[in-house]
Structure formats: C-alpha cells, structure tokens
Amino acid sequence: MRPFGYSRPSSVSNAILEVREFLAADPQSSLSFLAGGTTLLDLMKLDVVRPERIIDLNALRDELGYTRSDGSALRLGAFARMADVAADAEVIANYPVIAQSLSLAASAQLRNMASLGGNVLQRTRCPYFRDPSWSACNKRVPGSGCAAVQGANRAHAVLGTSDHCIATYPGDFAQALVALDASIVIAGPRGNRTIPFDSLHRRPDGNPHLETSLQPGEIIAEFIVPARSWMRRSLYLKIRDRQSYEFAVAAAAVALDLDGGMVRDARIALGGVAAVPWRAREAEDALRGQPLTEAVARTAARLAFAEARPQSHNAYKIELGQSTLVRALLQASSMELRP
Amino acid sequence: MTTGLSTDRRRFLIGSAVTGTIPFMPRDAASQVPEPSRSPGSYPSVDLTLHVNGQEHRVEVDPRTTLLDALRDHIGLTGVKKGCDHGQCGACTVLVEGRRELSCLTLAVSVQQREVTTIEGLAASDGGLHPMQQAFIDHDAFQCGYCTPGQILSAIGCVREGHASTPADIRESMSGNICRCAAYPNIVVAIMQARERMEG
C-alpha cells in the first residue's frame, strides 16, 4: 500500500472545508473518502487505487447514520451500515426490495462495516481492473485498452457496455434504488444538490474511468426513497454461482402496483448483467395495463434484453437474465401484502 | 513442528512485538514502484490508543497499518489470523463495539475510540471459556484451527444478530468465514449449542 495523508473531520461541514482546502492546494492530487473501507482498503492493497490523501468520514456516522421514514418517503443517511438498514423493521415491511438487496450482498462482517454511500460507489469486480499486472484496462488507465473483450469475460456485462469497457456494475442495493425512483442528496465544495439516483452512474461509452456524475470532493449524504404505490410489492431476486457471499450473475429488482391481476404500474432494474444499475423501461411499458401472466412477463423480459450485446463467454446471461426477471415478476405478483 | 517449537516461536513473536523489533512492513512493499517525490518516510508515523479486550494500548504505527497488523505485530495478539488480507475469508474477524467486522479492511487509525474484542478477550477472568469456545471444543468444530478464532468471533456475532435459529440460517450468516478443512457441519452444531447457553 502506498503512503497517504490522513485526517478525520468531525462533521460534514468540516469535511467539506478540508476538501476545499485540499483541492485548492493541488487540484491534480488524488483524494479518497473512507467510510466502511471494504472497497477502498482492498483496492489500495491491490495498488488499483492510489490516494495521496484519505479523509476518514466515520465520525459522520452519528450525523448521517439514520434510517427514517414518514408517510411520504424513506430517508437513509449515507453512513448507515448495510446490516442496520437490512434489519430495520420498517424497511423490511414497506420497502422489501431494499432490505433484500442489502441482506443478499457480501458477508455479515462486510455488511456490518460497509456504508450505504460506499456500497453504491463500489468498483467493478472485473479481474482485469483489479489486477494491475494487466496493462490494458481503460477504467484503471484511460486509453490503455480492454483486456476483457478478448479475455475471460463470463462474468461481464451484456447491457450498457461499450467497445472500451464491458465491466459489470457489481452492487445490489443500487438496483433497488433505481427501481424505487430514489434520489440522493450530495454535499460538496459548491454546496448541496439533489439528483435522481438513476443519474449517478455513467455508462462507460468512451470514458470508462468516469464512473459517476459526482464532482471532485462531493460526498453522498442521503438517499431518499419516495413512498409510492409499488414499493410494498417489491423484491430482489439474485442469482449467483454459489448460494451465498457471491456477486450476482443476474439479478432483478422489481416493484409492482397491481389492480386485481392487472399491472397498474411496474418498476424494474437489472443487476449482474449491465455496466450500470439498469432500469428496464421497455419491460415496464410492456407490463402496464396487462395481466401478469407468465407469457406477458416473458415478453417484457425479452424487451429488457433486446439490445443485449454478448461477449465470447457470457451469452448465457441473456437467457439467464430473462428467466430471472420472469421469476421475479411472478413472485412479486403472488406476494401477500398485509393490509 | 512440535508443540514445544510452536510455543517458542509464539513467545518469540510476542516478545519481539512488545519490544518493537519487528518493523512494520507494508504487504506489497517489495512490488512498489519507486517514486522519489513521495518516499514512505514523508509521512510520519502516528500515535494511537487502541482499546482491546478492555485494555488501552498505545502504539506508534505507519498510518497504513490495518487493525489486523496492529493487533498482531504491535500489540502481540496473534490469535487474530491473516488469511487473504482482502476481506474474503473471515480469518481476521474481530468484534468492534460488539459487532463482527474484518480487521484486515480496517485502518488502525480509524478505530481508535472503539472497543475491539479478539479471541484472547473472550474467556472470563478465571479462565472459564466463552460458551462459543467451549462449544467448538465439544463438537470438534475445527481441524487445523487457523480459521477458528475468526469462526468463533463471527459465530458470536451470528447469535447476537439473531441468525442462529436454524442450521440454514447459520450457514447463510456464517458464509463470510471460510474453512479449508471444511469443518462446517460441526461448526453449525457448535453454534446451535452455544446459542442455547448464550441466550439461556
């Protein structure tokens, strides 16, 4: 691990002051925020991430570690730990897709450590990204090429990729947030702003190293999940190579508003198959106003993968992803909701 | 290796750590690309106070030191084990404020005000074992023993979190602790036994 400077501000405003000073002194130098550390320390040991300065935000847990809800929205402080939100009775009852996406991720120890903000910012598990002995990785070294295109790409994405990067977005929670139309509050050197969560992650296109729309020094402070008609009939279905403690090869976050057997509204996000948390709008449109039969679900799933682009080893994800979505939709439609 | 040799080695390591004769070596020091403008010496070491097993420990460490390395190399608590050093195997599991966490992915400097419990801190002052330690012995829940301290601390977290009601629940909740000897069936039974005693 390379050397770094370290500081631990006591509040969000102090953290922003430190960021401002640090960036003013040397805009080119690299800065990393530390929360749970489960991604950052791992990637620093691998020499993939090389911050010259670490600003430890763990003192912010008191200020931004909450899980709150009222009639209109669920508000999650970005420094709440995954395990705490996953075990929250209100989240389990009224936002099941969020609780499930968190509890099906990582291991118990990692969920005790990892913050929500850090979780949505976790980096891809592409082995060529994680191993600097591979020289070609546009995400790690812009312009160096992509070793995965000609390499072992069984775990890679089929949606949202580009010729420059086919890495899969690895997380689970992000799909739940996309499906439930969440937004995030961002604190930064230029003040606070709120954006749809959907616009946080950037597709790789020609610049795979630019993964999010966060500006230098910005901190995710809060997640806001609106209470809507579809949130209670929601679930996260995660398909893995082994049953536990593994990343998804395909996953679906679905939320349904049903009127009898008819779909009034549907929200769908796909994981494990795409370069970013993937909203499947065409599939949602195909469900609206239809009875949720297996045939209708299968049509919707086909539309969700209509633009899928397989690589040499991952074409199976197109069929698997569709089956995952069909099963998730049928399971959600048969959920029994308590009044 | 005989038991005697093993004990001598351990005593040597503990003694060395206390007198500070083992320098802290970053894991990948040998593979670092030399960067003249930023030599490791340009960042001073930091004085930390760690709270471990009910005692305060003052240590002077490089800011890069993980909690795992601080416990083993600076405080001499070698019960905590280094397996993968990347948060994948669970061998380094400790309790932080009573919750199971991974000491290999925690910076020592970041954990100063928090109480850390290692395997050495579980037994009662009269030497009586924690119910989880006893259950692992009763059910032969290990073979080589390398993953066992992490398994036991993780298992205590599993019970405290309320995930030890069925064997399936335990297996899911313990999936972050890998055992290469595959002692899993006995670990599950041991946790079932310890849960009754911890909650009873």
Tens of pLDDT, residue by residue over A82-124, are 999 999 999 999 999 999 999 999 999 999 999 999 999 999 9
Does the distance separating the beta carbons of B31 and A1 come in below 8 Å? no
Does the distance separating the beta carbons of A3 and B99 come in below 8 Å? no
CA distances (Å), origin A203, targets A157, A161, B100, B148: 12, 7, 35, 43
Rounded mean pLDDT, A214-227: 96
Tokens representing A7 are: 């500081």
A10: which DSSP letter?
S
Tokens representing B68 are: 């795992």
* CA atoms of A227 and A245, how far apart (whole Å): 30
* CA atoms of A322 and A159, how far apart (whole Å): 12
* Sequence spans of domains, chain B: 45-121, 131-199
Residues of chain A above pLDDT 70, percent: 100
Rounded mean pLDDT, A225-242: 97
* CA atoms of B2 and B21, how far apart (whole Å): 25
Q: Domain B131-199, what fold?
A: DNA polymerase; domain 1 (1.10.150)
Residue B26: CB atoms within 10 Å? 17
Instruction: Indicate the average pLDDT of chain A.
Output: 97
Q: Coil, strand, or helix at residue A203?
A: coil
User: Looking at CA atoms only, how far is residue A296 from chain B in angstroms?
Assistant: 34
Does A245 lie at the interface with B, CB-CB under 8 angstroms? yes
Q: What is the pLDDT of residues B149-199, one digit of tens each?
A: 999 999 999 999 999 999 999 999 999 999 999 999 999 999 999 999 999
User: Looking at CA atoms only, how far is residue B31 from chain A in angstroms?
Assistant: 10
* CA atoms of B178 and B176, how far apart (whole Å): 6
Q: What is the CATH number of domain B45-121?
A: 3.10.20.30
Rounded mean pLDDT, B83-103: 98
User: Looking at CA atoms only, how far is residue B8 from chain A in angstroms?
Assistant: 31
Rounded mean pLDDT, A16-35: 91
Does the distance separating the beta carbons of B107 and A110 come in below 8 Å? no
Chain B partners of A4 at a C-beta cutoff of 8 Å? 43, 63-64
Single-letter amino acid code for the residue at B102:
L
Domains, chain A: 5-60 (3.30.43.10)
Q: Check residue B12 and give its pLDDT.
A: 42
* Bridge partners, A258 (sequence order): A263
CA distances (Å), origin A121, targets A8, A173, A192, A276, B131: 20, 11, 18, 11, 39
Q: Which of residues 101-160 of A touch B (CB under 8 A)?
A: 106-110, 112-113
* CA atoms of A251 and A3, how far apart (whole Å): 38
